[in-house]
Amino acid sequence: MINDIRNTVLAVLNKNNYGYISPQDFNLYAQQAQMDLFEDYFYAYNYQVNKENQRTSGTDYADIKKGYAEVIDFFSVTSNLTQNGGATNSFFLPSLATTGSDFYLINKIFTGGIELERVNQSKILLLNSSPLTAPSTMFPAYTTQGNIATIYPVSSAAPTITCQYIRYPKPPKWTYVDLGNNSEPVFDQTQPDYQDFELFPDDATDLTMKILQYAGVSIREASVVQYAGAAEATETNSEK
């Protein structure tokens, strides 16, 4: 998908000899565009939930929320957390170093099939001192601070803590072979650091428009920015 999008972007930019963007710039814009759209998934999901509550959403093929949930679930990872030193209730949150990917959103942390409830730092002391709601093995809780999750209640042995989270999409990278002699770089997806977009194909248009906006700003071509912005807004509205 990444090569198609790059070709489209270059085709639009080259019209009337507006300009050209290098592979390095394209990769930067591509990553930015992918993150923009990725974050939009969550807002769009919430928007669809609200529409359902207003009874202005359908079921079956009209169930838009389900589609967003599927896309978000694509980025779902379930992994055991790494204990932090000797403390039996301290664990590292998901990261490249511990679980292989950074988390965008922690959906749940659980142990032995029991979900731990995330509690704000402002509440945890109150919670621990309340006889009725103090965290127990049946209703455990956790707080986060920095990249550390602290589990309650504290047990004598560290439990196995598992986390299900939504990871960030991997940064896209359009890899190429440089033929020299002022030739155009040629797309080469066999390079080890090649990475296609992780978003679904139906987002190709949005990705193209986003990248065009960044590229338009880069080459100081206002008409490109306006065109891409308007096209994206039109597409977004049509999906609501």
Q: Which is nearer to other proteins, 25 or 115 (CB)?
A: 115
Report in angstroms how near the CB of residue 60 gets to other proteins at its nearest.
Answer: 17
Q: Is 139 in the site for other proteins (CB under 8 A)?
A: yes
- How large is the greatest C-alpha to C-alpha distance in the chain, in angstroms? 76
Q: Which is nearer to other proteins, 96 or 114 (CB)?
A: 114
DSSP 105-142: EEEEEEETTEEEEE--HHHHHHHHH-TTTS--SSS-EE
Report in angstroms how near the CB of residue 142 gets to other proteins at its nearest.
Answer: 12
Q: Is 239 helix (H, G, I), strand (E, B) or coil?
A: coil
Burial class from Cβ neighbours inside 10 Å (0-12, 13-18, 19+) for residue 18 reads middle
CA atoms within 13 A on the CB side of 63: 7
Report in angstroms how near the CB of residue 137 gets to other proteins at its nearest.
Answer: 8
Q: Is 136 in the site for other proteins (CB under 8 A)?
A: yes
Q: Which is nearer to other proteins, 131 or 180 (CB)?
A: 131
DSSP 39-87: HHHHHHHHHHHHHHHTT---SGGG-HHHHHHHHHHHTEEEEEPEE-TT-
CA Rg, the chain, in Å?
A: 23
Residues 76-105 contacting other proteins, CB under 8 A: none
Residues 49-68 contacting other proteins, CB under 8 A: 49, 52-53
Report in angstroms how near the CB of residue 158 gets to other proteins at its nearest.
Answer: 21
Report in angstroms how near the CB of residue 84 gets to other proteins at its nearest.
Answer: 24
Report in angstroms how near the CB of residue 207 gets to other proteins at its nearest.
Answer: 29
Q: Which is nearer to other proteins, 71 or 207 (CB)?
A: 71
Determine the Cα–Cα distance for residues 144 and 30; give it in Å rounded to an integer: 32
Q: Is 127 in the site for other proteins (CB under 8 A)?
A: yes
Q: Are 58 and 147 in contact, with CB atoms under 8 Å apart?
A: no
Q: Which is nearer to other proteins, 137 or 226 (CB)?
A: 137
Determine the Cα–Cα distance for residues 123 and 143; give it in Å rounded to an integer: 9
Q: Please pick, from the candidates 85, 86, 129, 138, the single residue that binds other proteins as defined by CB under 8 A.
A: 138
Q: Is 73 in the site for other proteins (CB under 8 A)?
A: no
Which residues bind to other proteins, rule: CB under 8 A? 49, 52-53, 117, 119, 127, 130-134, 136-139, 141
